């Protein structure tokens, strides 16, 4: 829904209302500032993370917390003590910090601590979310090819960190003689009956268990007649 992805009219009204009430006493040296520093966080899915937004001279200012989306736009998550997106984020405020629980890959991006008074003060944190690799078969699940043909088996993987892909054969070694090979594609050149079998594409990135998919190759060839020479 569009209103969950952008700084919508409801958020603007909320922000303007609270920002208008924000004030602080004293001169320029006593303006509210953030004392926490920007940080880069890396967590795995389902973990939790704490974003610090500590500051000085906050007084009656209203602290806001926003998620800046990787593809543009942002979501206003907190205004003061009011949570605005409870269906999308398991988020709670503790003092001047925000704790995000049950992190998903959609939670990746930048998070902004923000104060609007006579000037805007902001602090940015970056969240990198790691999640297990998943593999998808691109080639047909089963291929029947003529003897001597070249067969290309391909799969693709998604994951963070980037997944490595390896190929193996269900029974025995690959036609090249190797037990496994790496790469998005496996090329079988000039196939014969020894190339027949089930090939396994496996993706792994060190987060969670590997993911795999299978493809089979059947080689069709003309009957071969073998004769024994009889010596006279």
> 37-68 pLDDT, tens per residue?
999 999 999 999 999 999 998 888 999 999 99
Contacts of 71 (CB under 8 A, 6+ apart): none
**C-alpha–C-alpha distance, residues 67 and 81, integer Å:** 16
| Residues forming a β-bridge with 197 | 217
> 116-172 pLDDT, tens per residue?
988 899 999 999 999 999 999 999 999 999 999 999 999 999 999 999 999 999 988
Least confident of 7-16, 83-92, 135-144, 214-223: 7-16
Cβ pair 67, 74 in contact under 8 A: yes
User: What ranges make up the beta strands (E) of the chain?
Assistant: 33-34, 40-44, 49-52, 55-56, 63-68, 74-79, 82-83, 90-94, 97-101, 109-116, 120-137, 142-146, 151-160, 164-169, 181-182, 185-188, 197-204, 211-220
> 160-200 pLDDT, tens per residue?
999 999 999 998 899 989 999 999 999 999 999 889 999 99
CB crowding 14-37: b at 16 or more within 10 Å, else e: bbeebbeebeeeeeeeebbebeee
Which tokens belong to 25?
Answer: 């006493």
């Amino acid at each position: 829904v569009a209103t969950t992805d952008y700084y919508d009219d409801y958020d603007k009204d909320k922000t303007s209302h609270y920002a208008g009430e924000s004030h602080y006493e004293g001169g320029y040296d006593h303006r509210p500032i953030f004392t926490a520093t920007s940080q880069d966080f890396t967590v795995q899915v389902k973990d939790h993370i704490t974003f610090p937004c500590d500051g000085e001279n906050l007084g009656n200012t209203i602290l806001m917390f926003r998620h800046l989306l990787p593809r543009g736009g942002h979501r206003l998550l907190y205004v003061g003590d009011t949570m605005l997106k409870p269906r999308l984020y398991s988020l709670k405020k503790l003092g001047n910090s925000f704790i995000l629980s049950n992190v998903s890959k959609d939670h990746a991006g930048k998070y902004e601590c923000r104060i609007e008074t006579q000037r805007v003060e902001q602090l940015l944190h970056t969240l990198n979310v790691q999640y297990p690799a998943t593999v998808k078969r691109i080639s047909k699940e089963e291929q029947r090819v003529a003897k001597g043909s070249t067969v290309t088996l391909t799969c693709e993987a998604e994951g963070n960190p980037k997944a490595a892909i390896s190929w193996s054969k269900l029974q025995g070694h690959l036609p090249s003689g190797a037990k496994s090979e790496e790469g998005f594609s496996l090329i079988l050149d000039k196939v014969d009956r020894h190339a027949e079998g089930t090939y396994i594409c496996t993706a792994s990135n060190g987060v969670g268990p590997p993911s795999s998919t299978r493809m089979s190759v059947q080689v069709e060839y003309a009957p071969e007649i073998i004769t024994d020479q009889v010596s006279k």
